[in-house]
Amino acid sequence: MIDFLNAIVALSNFVIVPAIAYGSQLALGALGVTLIYGILRFSNFAHGDTMASGAMFTIFVTWWMQSAGINLGPLPTALLALPFGILGCMALVLFTDRFVYRFYRAQKAKPVILVIVSMGVMFIMNGLVRFSIGPGEQRFSDGERFIINAREFKEFTGLREGLAIKTSQGITVITAVIVVALLFWFLNRTRTGKSMRAYSDNEDLALLSGINPERVVMYTWLLVAALATTAGVLYGLDKSFKPFTYFQLLLPIFASAIVGGLGSPIGAIAGGFVIAFSEITITYAWKKVLVYMMPEQLEPSGLVQLLSTDYKFAVSFVILLIVLLFKPTGLFSGKAV
Amino acid sequence: MTFPIKNVALFAIMAGLLFYTGITESWNTALGLFNMCLISAIMALGVNLQWGYAGLFNVGVMGFVALGGLAAVLVSHAPVTEAWSEGGLGVIVALLTGAATILLATLIMRRKPHSRTRTLALLAVLVGGFFLFRALFDPSVLAIEKVNPAATGFLGGLGLPILMSWPVGGLLAAAAAWLIGKTALGLRSDYLAIATLGIAEIVIAVLKNEDWLTRGVKNIAGLERPVPYEVDLQNSPAFVERANNFGLDAIEASTLFVKANYSLLFAAVLIILLVMFQLALNSPWGRMLRAIRDNEVAAEAMGKDVTARHLQVFILGSAICGLAGAMMTTLDGQLIPGTYQPLRFTFLVWVMVIVGGSGNNIGAILGGFLIWYLWIQVEPLGHWLMGVVTSGMAEGSALKEHLLESAAHMRLLTMGLVLLLVLRFSPRGLIPEK
């Protein structure tokens, strides 16, 4: 019985808790991608770098607050800085939309042209971020590090395995729930949200009903900026901030959005968790859990790690391929074929 | 083929830029730039075939280039006999087991009707095959990596002339492209983009982590060369004498001679490819490609097999990128997996194609030359610019130091700006399609 509890705790500590946190971050990122896809109808390659830009603005404000002695006690100061980061990111994406994307929208350019344009935006945003904050790793988390500490958990329960929940993981999940709830409330209950969904479902019909497309697009960018900044800051708090890793997040984020079904918000969330759980379960060394579950003579000799952690991209990629082969519209039937 | 004045002038300007570098910096730098320009032009040709002629969106150029680099190692490096005897057979058996597993699974998928038994059988084959593969693979890999890890620790290659790796690199890239094309072509264009983005990351991950194959991040240096070594030239009296006749000292002459040899090789490949492309693209096959690109539905109604042509072009274009990758590794004489960066190898090539003129091979070549030149020369320019900007600031101020330090990141900004400006104001590029 104790062995079983130990196994459960080890599993939660190394797989379930990190995967839930990572999944929430991916889901927030994928929501941004899926919104742009649904409304503006292209895959935004600059999304990773939008996340990095938003996180960068937040980090600057956080640093300023830290130097000014403003903090949230046990919570990271970055949470207080997040609204300012979102505002900065909103300004940035509205600026790019005004000076880059709007021209192509007016021309009714093909989606693939917009993808290439977003590639150019990606270059510029990437350059701006590296230029402003440098290509290195930045740490900006402060406050309490753990909600539940592994040592205290062991002392409290008397189990051999400890369970640690980082503050950043707790905050990630809570923030993600709040943000997603707000987003769905906005999309389903408000006038603007409804007009956005109408525009996404059928552009011509929406235009006929007197929906102002530029307004819809503007609100989309504002939502995307908020989602991207939140995702970027949460990821940065949980791991660390490094411009290049944000670029690399593009693949799992797109995989999440496509697995869930491009254009479907629910799908984006589901996809994020599918990708996160598969990435972590496949790259986790299961020995620690199996030791408790198996009789002693069957104890595994190796680490029982299916793939080394460096191949986590391969996992999201393979899932992506499987979904593309068997159900190209994704789990929740997005709009793309 | 005709040569409008404008195109000749553009190439003349490009040549002028290279000459200017030769005069103001050194001829060595200029030739080095020229060599990389040639390789970039070949990459741009490959991407242009896919995008310009068929409208396929490939953002996995880096992966194909890296596969070419892998080919250079696998073909030219001397085999490590001890490693082969320790675990060579084991690795091959394991890889064959893996391949057999996938084959078996595909057969079950294809042959049996959809049922729960089939799903269970599939799972059993895949999971069982995976563990069998790992059981065979892991001990052999450990054995190989234990063989003199400081110097080798990998299987080595075939010990063949490195020039043979160029077509092999193309073949490797083509195989990867086939895999991707089979799954993602025929779906939305964005999906192909994401799939290629993924395969590129995976290729790099394999290069970095499979030490038995590539030594991973320990890198492989000192690959064989298709051209003479500088030291040998400097020791050859005949060469020294000839260099003196030209009024050059032996050391400079030898480096120039080696670089010029590379230039000749690369230029030959570029010219052969260009001629082949021009012939192919002016043939009925080329017209069909453009017809498909311009209106897929109409072409399909005319009985053209759109997906098959797309697959063909996708494989061809990727093979060209693989070839260029093998050439680049040959030029460097080393394989450093850590240097493969998507911004540098995928997106920069895209900038070359768009700026040069998608749908026009001459344009793609010009783009390759120009953008590579800018990519290298923007950095000193950025330093100079920052020097001017910061000249008025107080010595030692934090902002000044930050700006001077960040000048290196100017090139990303510049490339993005160039791409956006060209797309906006001259979407057909410098030398547009006719």
User: What is the dihedral sign for C-alpha A309, A310, A316, A322?
Assistant: negative
- Which residues on adjacent β-strands are paired with residue A72? A75
B101 domain-assigned = no
Compute the nearest-CA separation of B259 from chain A (Å): 32
Q: Which residue of B has its CA nearest to A118?
A: B420
Helices (H), A97-166: 102-107, 111-133, 150-157
CATH number at residue A136: 1.10.3470
Question: What do you get for the CA distance between the two ends of chain B, in Å?
Answer: 11
A132 touches chain B (CB under 8 A): yes
A175 domain-assigned = yes
**For residue B103, what are its two tokens?**
């084959």
A313 touches chain B (CB under 8 A): yes
Range of the domain at A151: 2-326
- Which residues on adjacent β-strands are paired with residue B185? B187
Q: Which residue of A has its CA nearest to B190?
A: A43
Range of the domain at B324: 40-79+156-341
- Reported as a single tens digit per residue, the pLDDT across A68-114 is 888 888 888 899 999 999 999 999 999 999 999 999 999 888 888 89
Q: Which residues of B238-271 are buried (b: 16+ CB within 10 A; e: fewer)?
A: ebbeebeeeebebeebbbbbbbeebbebbeebbe
pLDDT at B1: 52
* Cα dihedral A58, A61, A66, A71 in deg (nearest 10): -70
A296 domain-assigned = yes
Helices (H), chain A: 2-11, 17-40, 47-68, 78-96, 102-107, 111-133, 150-157, 167-189, 191-201, 203-208, 213-238, 243-248, 250-260, 265-283, 287-293, 312-326
Q: Which residue of B has its CA nearest to A125?
A: B413
Identify the burial level of B166 via C-beta atoms within 10 angstroms of its C-beta, where 0-12 means exposed, 13-18 middle and 19 or more buried. buried
Compute the nearest-CA separation of A38 from chain B (Å): 13
Q: Are A24 and A2 in contact (CB under 8 A)?
A: no
Is there a contact between A131 and B406 if contact means CB atoms under 8 Å apart?
A: yes
Is there a contact between A306 and B189 if contact means CB atoms under 8 Å apart?
A: no
Is there a contact between B197 and A42 if contact means CB atoms under 8 Å apart?
A: no
Neighbours of A208 (CB within 10 A): 9
CA pair distance A264, A270, nearest whole angstrom: 10
A250 touches chain B (CB under 8 A): yes
**For residue A305, what are its two tokens?**
């790690």
A95 touches chain B (CB under 8 A): no
A91 domain-assigned = yes
A108 domain-assigned = yes
A331 domain-assigned = no
* Facing A254 at nearest CB: one of B187, B194, B409: B194
If you count them, how many residues does chain A have?
A: 337
ipTM of the complex: 0.86
CA pair distance B369, B414, nearest whole angstrom: 16
Compute the nearest-CA separation of A144 from chain B (Å): 31
- Which residues on adjacent β-strands are paired with residue A165? A148
Is there a contact between A336 and B420 if contact means CB atoms under 8 Å apart?
A: no
DSSP-derived secondary structure letter, A138: B
pLDDT at A272: 95
- Which residues on adjacent β-strands are paired with residue A148? A165
A95 domain-assigned = yes
* Facing B409 at nearest CB: one of A42, A122, A131: A131
Angle at B203 between CA B201 and CA B208, to 5 degrees: 95
Is there a contact between A119 and B405 if contact means CB atoms under 8 Å apart?
A: no
Average pLDDT over residues A161-182: 90
Q: How far is CA A322 from CA A319, B71, B74, B160, B369, in A?
A: 5, 28, 31, 38, 39
Is there a contact between B406 and A130 if contact means CB atoms under 8 Å apart?
A: yes
Mutate to test the interface with A, among B51, B201, B346, B390 (most CBs of A within 10 A): B201
Per-residue pLDDT 10s for chain B (434 aa) are 566 888 899 999 999 999 999 998 888 899 999 999 999 999 999 999 999 888 888 999 999 999 999 999 999 988 888 888 888 888 899 999 999 999 999 898 888 888 888 889 989 999 899 889 988 888 888 888 888 888 778 888 888 999 999 999 999 999 999 988 888 887 777 788 888 888 898 899 889 888 888 888 888 888 888 888 888 888 888 888 888 888 788 888 888 999 999 999 999 999 999 999 999 888 999 999 989 988 889 999 999 999 899 999 999 999 999 999 999 999 999 999 888 988 888 889 999 999 998 889 999 999 999 999 998 888 788 778 877 877 777 766 777 777 777 777 778 888 889 899 999 998 888 888 87
B52 domain-assigned = yes
Q: Which residue of B has its CA nearest to A301?
A: B135
B297 domain-assigned = yes
pLDDT at B37: 96
Band (A299; pLDDT cuts 50, 70, 90)? low
Closest among A33, A9, A1, A8 to A268, alpha carbons compared: A33
pLDDT at A334: 64
* Facing A128 at nearest CB: one of B202, B411, B413: B413
Is there a contact between A130 and B208 if contact means CB atoms under 8 Å apart?
A: no
Residues 256-295 of A with CB under 8 A from B: 258, 262
Mutate to test the interface with A, among B190, B339, B351, B383 (most CBs of A within 10 A): B190
* Facing B416 at nearest CB: one of A113, A120, A313: A120
pLDDT at B396: 66
In total, how many domains does chain A have?
Answer: 1
Q: Which residue has the tokens 């503007």?
A: A218
Q: Which residue has the tokens 């793309």?
A: A336
Is there a contact between B187 and A123 if contact means CB atoms under 8 Å apart?
A: no
In the three-class reduction of DSSP (H, G, I as helix; E, B as strand; rest coil), residue B339 is classed as helix
Q: How far is CA B48 from CA B55, B170, B367, in A?
A: 9, 16, 10
Q: Which residue of B has its CA nearest to A110?
A: B189
Helix (H) or strand (E) holding A25: helix A17-40
Q: Are B409 and B345 in contact (CB under 8 A)?
A: no
* Facing B194 at nearest CB: one of A100, A306, A320: A320
Is there a contact between A127 and B413 if contact means CB atoms under 8 Å apart?
A: yes
pLDDT at A337: 42
* % of chain A surpassing 90 pLDDT: 45
The model's pTM is: 0.89
Is there a contact between B190 and A111 if contact means CB atoms under 8 Å apart?
A: yes
Q: Are A216 and A281 in contact (CB under 8 A)?
A: no
Q: Which residues of B274-305 are buried (b: 16+ CB within 10 A; e: fewer)?
A: beebeeebeeeeeebbbbbbeeeeebeeeebe
Residues of chain B contacting A253 with CB distance shorter than 8 Å: none
Q: How far is CA B200 from the centre of its chain?
A: 11
In total, how many domains does chain B have?
Answer: 1
Closest among A168, A162, A331 to A257, alpha carbons compared: A331
B250 domain-assigned = yes
CA pair distance B307, B286, nearest whole angstrom: 15
Strand stretches in B18-67, DSSP E: none
Mutate to test the interface with B, among A119, A311, A321 (most CBs of B within 10 A): A119
B314 domain-assigned = yes
**For residue B279, what are its two tokens?**
């012939």
Average pLDDT over residues A138-165: 83
B392 domain-assigned = no
Q: Is the model's pLDDT at A138 over the cut of 60? A: yes
Q: Is the model's pLDDT at A193 over the cut of 50? A: yes
A334 domain-assigned = no
Average pLDDT over residues A183-206: 91
B401 touches chain A (CB under 8 A): no
Residues 136-155 of A with CB under 8 A from B: none
Is there a contact between A258 and B55 if contact means CB atoms under 8 Å apart?
A: no
* Cα dihedral B207, B208, B210, B215 in deg (nearest 10): 90
Q: Which residue has the tokens 């059988």?
A: B121
Closest among A117, A123, A138 to A49, alpha carbons compared: A123
CA pair distance A328, A320, nearest whole angstrom: 9
- Reported as a single tens digit per residue, the pLDDT across A203-239 is 889 889 889 989 999 999 999 999 999 999 999 998 8
Q: Which residue of A has its CA nearest to B180?
A: A321
B285 domain-assigned = yes
B371 domain-assigned = no
Average pLDDT over residues A47-76: 91
Q: Which residue of A has its CA nearest to B419?
A: A120
A212 touches chain B (CB under 8 A): no
A37 domain-assigned = yes
Q: How far is CA A167 from CA A12, A58, A124, A236, B11, in A?
A: 16, 18, 33, 13, 59
B191 touches chain A (CB under 8 A): yes
CA pair distance B375, B354, nearest whole angstrom: 15
